[in-house]
Amino acid sequence: MRIIKAEDYYSMSRMAANIISAQIIMKPKCVLGLATGATPLGIYAQLIEWYKKGDLDFSEVTSINLDEYKGLSGDNTQSYRYFMNSNLFDHININKDRTYVPNGLEQDSEKACREYNEIIIRCGGVDLQLLGLGNNGHIGFNEPGEAFEKETHCVKLTDSTVKANARFFENEDQVPKEAYTMGIKSIMQARKIVIVVNGEEKADIVKEAFLGPVTPKIPASVLQLHNDVTLVGDKKALKYIE
Ligand code: GLP
């Protein structure tokens, strides 16, 4: 695992955005695996800035997002489709028909997940997967205890994740309790992975995930077994990492 320790959130975002832009420049027809959450916002802002300066071209890029709340439509301001449109896709020249997010409105979980797995295969797999890290070690919405061999599936969110994500909703009751997520197996099949972390509150889970044993209790720990992972964090989140 490569580790990049950045001074602060801004510099963490630039470092990670640099890796993503290198990917796009080296392979314009690449497939990016994208993530939501607060952490990647600075990366998306940076990518938009470089696009506006003419340094980046997304016209041939395909994106496949990690996850979506079950029951939310893409127009719902809390959906991950809405998040991606408003924080990235609406500001760059990506072809929206090639931006994929699980279909939150599909009530048939098996169908929603099967179709998403087919999309990933049809696109030829993910070249670069961007990940954030949940407070309990989740990646995508793979909560502690999930089997490592799963592809896209429906998950019941843990209380801690519902609480953590309540900051984006009016109150906790409004947070959907289920989500569709790419599984650990799908994530591990990405050719490159970049995981981003910032802030003191992530320091303990970063230590457990990357210095501790590989265990489904800390889903992100499986990344230790991937052969091309870059951990990009600010110095607060990486305070236990040499
Ligand atoms: C959500 C998302 C994850 C994300 C995590 C951390 O649960 N499903 O993909 O990594 O939150 O979010 P944040 O970056 O806001 O800490």
159-176 tens-digit pLDDT? 999 999 999 999 999 999
pLDDT at site 63: 98
Q: Is 165 in the pocket of ligand 1 (CB under 6 A)?
A: yes
Q: Which long-range contacts (CB under 8 A, 24 or more apart) does 84-93 make?
A: 84/34, 84/36, 87/41, 87/44, 87/45, 88/34, 88/44, 88/47, 88/48, 89/63, 91/48, 91/51, 91/52, 92/47, 92/48, 92/51, 92/56, 92/58, 93/51, 93/57, 93/58, 93/59
Q: What is the pTM of this model?
A: 0.96
Q: Which of 9, 12, 39 to mutate to test the pocket of ligand 1 (most atoms within 8 A of CB)?
A: 39
- What's the 44 CA to ligand 1 centre distance in angstroms? 15
pLDDT at site 125: 97
pLDDT at site 30: 98
pLDDT at site 133: 98
Regions of the chain with pLDDT less than 50 = none
pLDDT at site 110: 97
pLDDT at site 146: 84
pLDDT at site 108: 97
